């Protein structure tokens, strides 16, 4: 199959590296001319994950999104959720005919409060059976270093899930299959909120003991929310849920944890956003989950505390003290 990656950031760069292990040619759409020039000339993305070596002989990189979509059958979307809609603003439904759409995006579309799969279904008439997701636990930095990583390939169509797996499994990537698109997507949204909470706790001076309690309770929150939003028999302890939560909450590579740590140390939201070179998806996720939970009314004290700190400008110290008696 002809394959394409759409997105310019660190995770997009890591997925291009993976696909260069399994394919002779990878189409890659990037927004920035500087990235296109850097990949073509030096085999590196100069703006994101610049230490990652890319096989430029296998990559056809372009800033023309229509050309990349029309040249490929299997489309890996790795554009931050906050910018997906505007990136596709002049792409038509007809351009997606016959394509399989794979999301490696961990976020909710802010304007519609939809997960990515719902966005593609509702806006471009792409059924869930023609869509798939890729999720962690993973960090782009470790993919760049070729450290062993397990990725979950999800789709309602088992054959598509297997196709995704066959396209990304290589010497440093192993795969697990799932049919839980909605659970995987909502789980990846929520884990960013909880990683941000772990960072806030760290910035406030809490230690590993407390953060372990925080994350254990976060896993329970996630399970409650997923049960309400998309009821099904799922094991929250599987790597795509708990594993992804743990790596995002504890890793030095986690930008959500780093963003939260700045907030905990007293940075304003705007100051922290300006200092971050990449998008911290948890910032947008906190608002989207808060809005979605107006319908479901699930008990989510940690997620609500993060929302109050980021959007209502509540004191991080007071919000975390109010959590202490709610933990089990």
User: Cβ–Cβ contacts within 10 Å for residue 237, how many?
Assistant: 10
Work out the widest C-alpha separation in the chain, in whole angstroms: 58
CA–CA separation, 107 vs 92, rounded Å?
22
Question: At CA 181, angle to CA 175 and CA 187, rounded to 5?
Answer: 85
CA–CA separation, 156 vs 178, rounded Å?
8
Indicate the SS3 state at residue 68: helix
| Structure token digits, residue 113 | 């409060």
CA–CA separation, 46 vs 57, rounded Å?
17
Indicate the SS3 state at residue 74: strand
Is 321 one of the catalytic residues?
no
| Structure token digits, residue 223 | 């399970």
User: What are the C-alpha distances in Å from 34 to residues 8, 41, 60?
Assistant: 11, 10, 15
Name the active-site residue from 99, 100, 191, 295.
Answer: 191
Are the C-beta atoms of residues 96 and 271 closer than 8 Å to each other? no
- DSSP β-ladder status, 149-154 and 131-135: antiparallel
Give catalytic residues, as residue numbers. 191
């Amino acid at each position: 199959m002809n394959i394409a990656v759409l997105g310019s950031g660190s995770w997009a760069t890591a997925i291009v590296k993976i696909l260069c292990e399994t394919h002779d040619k990878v189409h890659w759409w990037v927004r920035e001319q500087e990235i296109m020039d850097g990949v073509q000339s030096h085999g590196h993305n100069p703006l994101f994950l610049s230490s990652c070596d890319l096989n430029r002989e296998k990559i056809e990189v372009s800033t023309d999104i229509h050309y990349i979509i029309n040249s490929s059958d299997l489309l890996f979307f790795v554009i931050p959720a906050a910018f997906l809609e505007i990136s596709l603003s002049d792409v038509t439904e007809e351009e997606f005919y016959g394509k399989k759409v794979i999301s490696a995006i961990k976020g909710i579309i802010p304007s519609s409060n939809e997960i990515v799969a719902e966005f593609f279904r509702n806006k471009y008439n792409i059924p869930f059976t023609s869509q798939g997701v890729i999720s962690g636990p993973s960090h782009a930095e470790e993919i760049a270093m070729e450290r062993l990583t397990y990725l979950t390939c999800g789709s309602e169509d088992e054959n598509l899930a297997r196709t995704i797996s066959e396209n990304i499994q290589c010497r440093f990537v192993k795969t697990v299959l799932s049919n839980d698109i909605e659970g995987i997507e909502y789980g990846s949204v929520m884990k960013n909120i909880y990683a941000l909470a772990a960072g806030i706790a760290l910035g406030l001076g809490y230690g590993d003991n407390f953060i372990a309690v925080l994350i254990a309770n976060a896993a329970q929150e996630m399970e409650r929310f997923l049960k309400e939003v998309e009821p099904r028999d799922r094991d929250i302890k599987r790597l795509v849920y708990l594993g992804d939560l743990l790596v995002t909450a504890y890793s030095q590579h986690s930008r959500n944890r780093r963003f939260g740590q700045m907030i905990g140390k007293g940075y304003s939201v705007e100051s922290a956003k300006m200092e971050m070179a990449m998008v911290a998806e948890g910032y947008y996720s906190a608002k989207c989950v808060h809005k979605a939970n107006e319908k479901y009314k699930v008990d989510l004290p940690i997620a609500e505390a993060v929302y109050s700190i980021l959007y209502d400008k509540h004191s991080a110290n007071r919000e975390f003290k109010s959590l202490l008696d709610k933990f089990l």
